[in-house]
Amino acid sequence: MKNNKFDVVGKRVVPIDVKEKAMGTAEYVTDMKLPGMLYGKILRSPYAHANILSIDTSEAKKIPGVKAVITFEDTPKIPFGTGCGRNDWYILAKDKVRFVGDEVAAVAAIDEETAEKALELIHVEYEELPVVLTPKDAIKKGAPIIHEDCPDNIAYHTEVERGDVDKAFKDADLVVKGTYSTSQAYQAYLEPKAAVAQWDAYGKLTMWLPVQVPMKCRIVYAKALGLDPGRLRVIKPYMGGGFGAKFEYMAHLICAELARHTGKPVKVVNTRREDFIAGNPRVPMEISIELALKKDGRFIGKKVYTLAGNGGRTVYGPPIASTTCYRIDALYDFQNVRSKADLLYTNTAPTGCMRGFGNSQMITTFEQLLDRAAEKLDIDPIEIRLKNAYKDGDVNLHGWELNTCGLAECLEKARNMSDWEKKYGKKRQKGRLKKGIGIASTMHVSGNRAFFKPFDGASSLIRIGEEGQVTLVHGECDMGQGQDTAFAQIACEALGARYEDFSVATVDTQISSLGCGSFSTRGTTLGGQGAIAAAKDAKGKILEAAGEILERPAKELDASNGIIFEKETGKEVLTFAEAAKHYVFEHGGMPVTGVGYWKPPTVVPKNYYGNCSPVYPYGAHIAEVEVDEETGRVDVVNYWAVHDVGRVINPTLLEGQLEGGIVQGIGWALTEDMIYDEKGVLQNDNFLDYRIPGSNDVPRIYTDFVESNDPNGPFGAKGIGEPALNPVAAAVSNAIYDAIGVRFYEIPITPEKILKGLAEKEKNKNSNTAANKNSYLYQRRL
C-alpha cells in the first residue's frame, strides 16, 4: 500500500454534522431550554437621537411573572468597546440614545408575553435632538454632535502613503477618477442574534452564544461585567450563519445582567426587526479615487479618500475603514499610493463586519474605475488586469509576502470559460433585452495579524479512544460554512485515520484551545494548520504503539485511512484501532492525545507595513446580465468564478461558499440597501421590504479553482469565504455598462436608477459629461 495520494483531502465527503442538521436534532441557542429559565426582552429607543430625561419602571415591576427590570443604573458603569480604539459602549444607554434601537432598559419574565407587557409599562421621557444620518452630513461644520467627546463626529482617521505619489501623477499619461458609494447592508443570516446566560453559586458565568469569536467575546464581556475572564465561560453551539455579524453584541451582556439580577438562567432572542435596526450592518462608504496610468495600461499611482459610516457607536468601523486604504494594494502593483479614511458617527445602527470587511467596498469601487481606464486606453479589461497582476514570490509596497498568486491563471480560466472574446463589447440585444458581460478581480487575506494583535495562530487537541474513534478539539468557529468538516478532513489526512471515525467537539472556552475565531477568511488556513500539528503529534504516538506491538522501529511505519503499513513495502500490518487500543491499555486507560499549534510567519504591521497574513487568496469573476430597457430590471443570467484556493480541501464546500457569496453579492449589487427616513427610522426592517435574492434570482453559476499550493497553507490551502463576495457588485456593474452603455456610481443599481441612467444617456447623447466629477468628496479631500 503506497500512500502517494490524498485519502480525504480534495474529496466530497459527507459533512461531519449532516445527520444532526438533517434530522433536526442540532441544537441552536434559540432552541435551548434550561430548568427554571426566564425570557428577556429589551426596551429600545424609538428615537435616533435624544436625551433620556427619566425612566420609570415601577409599573412594569408590578406585573406578575416579571422577575427583573433593569436600566443603566442597575448595570456595571464601565465604558468598554471591542478593542478598536473607542470605548463608547455601556450595557444600557447612559443619559442619551444615539440610534433607533439603542438599548434603554430590559426585562426578565417567566415567558415572552409577560416580558413584552412589562416593556409597554416602562415609561421613558425623552428630549429629541437633531439627527444626522450620513457620513457626508456628519462631517460638515455645525453637524449635530453625537458623542460629546468627539465634537467633529470623526470616530477614527487613518492614512498611509508609499512612494512618490505626486511625481507618479505628474508622469501619468492618463488619470481616471470618480466617487463611488456602497450601501449599508444587512447580513441576512437565518438565525437571529441570541444568548442564554447562567450564573452559578460561585459567581461564575456561563454563556451560550452563536458567535464567531467566543474567546474575544469572553475578554470583552468580562471587562464590561467587571469579571476576571477566567470566571466567564462561553460555549458556541450550532450557528445559523454569521457573515461577519456575529461578533460582540450588546444583547449578550444584557442577558448576562438579567441572569445576574434574577439568579436564574435567562434567554434573549432578537426579533427580526431588532436584528435589522440594531444588528451591526455593513459599513456604508463613499470612496473617491484617482488612478494614474501609462498609455500601455501600467499603473503608476493611486489616491483614495474613504468616508465611512460608523453608526451610533463603534463596533469594527475603524479597522474596516483602514482596510480600504491598503488591502487592494496586494491585488495589483500600484507602485505609489496615498490613501486616507475618515469614519463618522451617525444616528443609524452601529455598523460592523460583513463578508469582505472593507475590501469588498474598495474592490467594488476600483474594479469599476479600472474598466473606465481600460476603455479610455482601448485595452481589453482582462488584459489591463493581467498587465498589473502580481506574480508568485512578489512583495507588495506594504511588505506583504505573496508566496503564491494565481490571479493571472484565474483571469485566463474565467476568460475561456465565459467565451469573453465572443461576447464583450458586441452590443447583443433581443427585443427590449440587452445583454452585457463584465469582469472583476479579487484578493483577500487568510488571517490578519493586524486585526487581533496578541496572536493570529491556531492550535488543536486530538483525542483517540481505545476503538480508534477520534475527537478533534479546536477554538475556531463553524457558523454553517462547513469548517468543522474541512478541519476533520485535514486532521484525518495528517493522522492517517478513517474519516468516519472523526467527530469535532463544540467550541467551549473552558475546554477548547484558545482560538481567534472565524473572520478574515482565516479558518481553513490557520485552523487547518493547527489541526495538522495536533494530528502529527497523535500520529507519532500511534506509530510508537504499533512499533511496540510489531517489535520494530516506529520510523519504518506509516498510517493511511485507518491502516498502518510498512513504508518500504506498503504491506498492511495493523489497523489504526489496534494500535490505539494498545496505547490506551498500556497507559492506564489514558487516551492517545495529540496537541499542536501553528504560529504563522506574520508580524503586527507598523504604520501598515509588514506581512500580516500567511497566505493571500485570489480570484476572477465574470457576470453576464440582461437589462430590460423598458422596466429597468437587471437579471444576472450567467456567472463564472475562478479562485486560487491553494489546495481544494473539499470541492462541495468550496462550491457552496462561492455560490453563496455570489448570490449575496448580487443582492448587494442590485437590491439591498437599508433605507432611513429623515428621523432615522429604518423603513425596510423586514424581508418583505428589504429584498434579498430568491431562488428565481440565482443565475447559472460556473466555478473552477486554481491550486497554487501555498507553502503556508494546510496541504497548500487558502481561504475562500470573503473573496467569494468581494468582486460580485463590480462584475455586475461592469456587465450592465457593457449592455446599455451607462455607468453607475452607487450600489444597489435598482430599476429606477437604470431608467434614470438611460434617460440621461439619451438626453446627453452627444455630450461627454463625467458622473461625479464635481462631487463633494472629490473637491474636499483629493
Condensed to tens digits (0 to 9), the pLDDT of residues 533-576 reads 999 999 999 999 999 999 999 999 999 999 999 999 999 999 99
Q: What value does the mean pLDDT take over residues 357-376?
A: 99
Q: What value does the mean pLDDT take over residues 660-683?
A: 99
For the chain, the structural domain boundaries read 18-26+457-598, 35-129+190-241+246-278, 285-448+606-781
Look up residue 296 and give its three cell numbers.
500601455
How crowded is the C-beta side of 495, counted as CA atoms within 13 Å?
Answer: 40
Q: What value does the mean pLDDT take over residues 144-166?
A: 98
User: Residue 233 belongs to what H/E stretch?
Assistant: strand 232-236
- The pLDDT of residue 337 is 99
DSSP 3-state of 330:
helix
* pLDDT tens string 718-748: 999 999 999 999 999 999 999 999 999 999 9
DSSP 3-state of 197:
strand
Look up residue 5 and give its three cell numbers.
495520494
- The pLDDT of residue 766 is 61
Percentage of the residues of the chain whose pLDDT score is greater than 70:
97
Chain Cα centroid distance, residue 436: 30
- The pLDDT of residue 765 is 82
Q: What is the DSSP letter of 496?
A: T
Strand pairing report for 232-236 and 507-508: antiparallel
Look up residue 682 and give its three cell numbers.
429604518
- Does the structure show a pLDDT above 90 at 767? no
Contact 489, 500 (CB under 8 A): no
Distance (Å, whole) CA 285 – CA 746: 10
Q: What value does the mean pLDDT take over residues 29-40?
A: 98
Query: Which fold does the domain 285-448+606-781 belong to in CATH?
Result: Aldehyde Oxidoreductase; domain 4 (3.30.365)
Q: Mean pLDDT for the chain? A: 96
| Residue 279 or 450, more confident | 279
pLDDT band at 218 (very low <50, low <70, confident <90, very high): very high
pLDDT band at 769 (very low <50, low <70, confident <90, very high): very low
Q: What value does the mean pLDDT take over residues 183-188?
A: 98
- The pLDDT of residue 774 is 38
pLDDT band at 61 (very low <50, low <70, confident <90, very high): very high
- Does the structure show a pLDDT above 50 at 133? yes
- Does the structure show a pLDDT above 70 at 319? yes
Cis before 284 (ω within 30): no
* pLDDT tens string 333-348: 999 999 999 999 999 9
| Helix-then-strand count for the chain, H and E | 20, 30
**Could you tell me where the DSSP H helices lie in 263-316?**
272-278
- Does the structure show a pLDDT above 80 at 30? yes
Contact 333, 403 (CB under 8 A): no
- The pLDDT of residue 455 is 76
Distance (Å, whole) CA 56 – CA 500: 59
- Does the structure show a pLDDT above 80 at 450? no
Query: Which fold does the domain 35-129+190-241+246-278 belong to in CATH?
Result: Aldehyde Oxidoreductase; domain 3 (3.90.1170)
The full DSSP string for 556-595 is GEEEETTEEEETTT--EEEEHHHHHHHHHHHTTTPPEEEE
User: Residue 501 belongs to what H/E stretch?
Assistant: none
pLDDT band at 456 (very low <50, low <70, confident <90, very high): confident
- The pLDDT of residue 451 is 72
Contact 556, 516 (CB under 8 A): no
Distance (Å, whole) CA 42 – CA 107: 6
DSSP 3-state of 248:
coil
Stretch among 196-205, 638-647, 766-775 having the lowest mean pLDDT:
766-775
Q: What value does the mean pLDDT take over residues 217-227?
A: 97
pLDDT band at 454 (very low <50, low <70, confident <90, very high): confident
- Does the structure show a pLDDT above 80 at 1? no
Could you tell me which residues come within 8 angstroms of residue 568 by beta carbon, excluding any fewer than 6 positions away? 556
- The pLDDT of residue 3 is 40
Same fold across 18-26+457-598 and 285-448+606-781: yes
- Does the structure show a pLDDT above 80 at 613? yes
- The pLDDT of residue 474 is 96
> From the CA atom positions of the chain, what is the Rg in Å?
27
Phi and psi based region of residue 553 (left: phi greater than 0; alpha: psi -120 to 50; beta: remaining): beta
Decide which of 3.20.10.10, 3.30.365.10, 3.30.200.20, 3.30.70.1060 is the CATH code for 18-26+457-598: 3.30.365.10
